């Protein structure tokens, strides 16, 4: 076997190993709006979080049903354990839950994977509610 053939074979094996390793990579973290509840004058947003992150802080914009921006804030989800489930709640003052139309994840203020380092893939944000859209 010539040097060129050995080099090509070795390159193919190395690249194949990288592809196989990335195919085993864990899926990105998932953050889901689970419920809303009225708590006095505040709307409480309850999220479930999964996915092996040491830190997650999202720049979040809340819109009413008419599409007007009601609040721009940071939601600190903290750590989201690998293979586990965390529940996080955020109270939005002076807002009726019935007025909430959309939660926009405008960007990530902080995102670190378990063990350190920045997130390679952004978490997936979703809603299980028919009445409130979550977009990113």
**What CATH number does residue 84 fall under?**
2.60.40
The verdict on residue 76 lying in a domain is: yes
The verdict on residue 8 lying in a domain is: no
pLDDT recorded at residue 16: 52
The verdict on residue 22 lying in a domain is: no
Range of the domain at 65: 30-135
Could you tell me the CA-to-CA distances from 67 to 64, 107, 127, 133 in Å, in that order?
Answer: 5, 19, 17, 11
The verdict on residue 92 lying in a domain is: yes
The verdict on residue 1 lying in a domain is: no
Q: From CA 85, how far away is CA 83, in angstroms rounded?
A: 7
- The structural domain count of the chain equals 1
pLDDT 10s digits, 79-127? 988 888 999 999 999 999 999 999 999 999 999 998 888 998 999 999 9
Would you call 44 helix, strand, or coil by DSSP? strand
The verdict on residue 16 lying in a domain is: no
pTM: 0.79
């Amino acid at each position: 076997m010539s040097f060129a053939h050995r080099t090509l074979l070795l390159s193919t094996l190395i690249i194949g190993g990288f592809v196989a390793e990335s195919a085993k990579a864990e899926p990105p973290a998932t953050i889901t709006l689970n419920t809303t509840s009225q708590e006095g004058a505040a709307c409480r947003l309850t999220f479930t979080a999964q996915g092996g992150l040491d830190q997650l802080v999202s720049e979040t914009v809340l819109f009413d049903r008419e599409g007007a921006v009601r609040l721009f804030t940071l939601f600190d989800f903290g750590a989201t354990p690998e293979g586990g489930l965390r529940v996080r709640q955020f109270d939005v003052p002076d807002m009726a839950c019935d007025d909430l139309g959309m939660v926009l994840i405008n960007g990530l203020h902080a995102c670190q994977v378990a063990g350190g380092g920045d997130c390679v893939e952004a978490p997936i944000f979703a809603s299980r509610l028919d009445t409130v859209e979550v977009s990113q």
